[in-house]
Structure 1
């Protein structure tokens, strides 16, 4: 199985505060990986290091075999940031089509104009998330769940090999969350590698295949089944609730 992301002996500090300590694991093609941990455990920091948005003080990350600082094919990673919905300006009249089109810019050279083929790619991405009928709607007029689907389409439009999501269901009701995760599972079944950061560990009981649990250090990395049956489970999750049976 192809290793898409290699993380070796990763350390990261914010000033004097050690946030990530000696992190080592791989993300393989076809994984559906949930990165879990309490607030402040380093989950978002780890993602930003993988994406090249933060530079670790020690250690190495490789994307598709290339050191992250040398990796130029950013379109191969789709990213939905934490609180993406909060980025929507209710005053600025961006359409759904324009928001998704931003996902094509990393592939383009200046001047960055959208061609007919790009319009087709935008429509295809919206169809994948069942939002094609909202192409010309202002994104600020959509519900939170609809907006989140648009941001997924923006991440998918460049046809990435890895989809990375950071707390993607914050502020979304439970029923919409369930449909959202079912949609991610469909993408994974079609071959897309998915990495999702969350502190709501209830997500692991249905779709994910692997779990990485962070609390500054990597406390656990392995399959969902092993995680649920681990005798150290209570130590790993603390006071969080976890339904360990899939349904």
Structure 2
């Protein structure tokens, strides 16, 4: 899961980034609405965590602008504004969820996975694909009932493919899901992760679509 965190409090932001990365998520952090706009145009994200008290623009204004231009990115509002009026305003502006400060990182992590599950139309966390089962909330994979140890990058790659089953993802789209915007990525890094995923889960887990990119492989009978 690739998360865009828009939070101007550096202490809070550093804690969120460290906590979510420890759970296997890829996180990019910005401290202003302007930086968030720029990054949303430059990279793909699965979900956005948005503080409302930003230095250059109110977070609700940013959220309304995103929705008005048709941006469907799931957004979790993270704020100290705790009145019912504030929560209603956030939801009406287009927020998908609303979490009050102070908060527990475990709850934030769970809510982010719930948002993605809702977008994918799933009622449970576990995703099944033939003999493969994967639970994004615990970062655990099983193949034919046996646990499989995946690195953080391999998990991010697998999640991107599972959430986009049936669709072809370009190399750039997959890199956006696996790496942060500021990460230095070697030219063959994605191919290495795909190779490792195929070695651990079977060659058919990732299908190469020549000239276009990759997609989740078909379930073999």
Q: TM-score, normalised by structure 2?
A: 0.30
Structure with a larger share of its residues in strand? 1
Structure with a larger share of its residues in helix? 2
Q: TM-score, normalised by structure 1?
A: 0.28
The answer to which structure, 1 or 2, has the higher relative contact order (CA under 8 A, 6+ apart) is 1
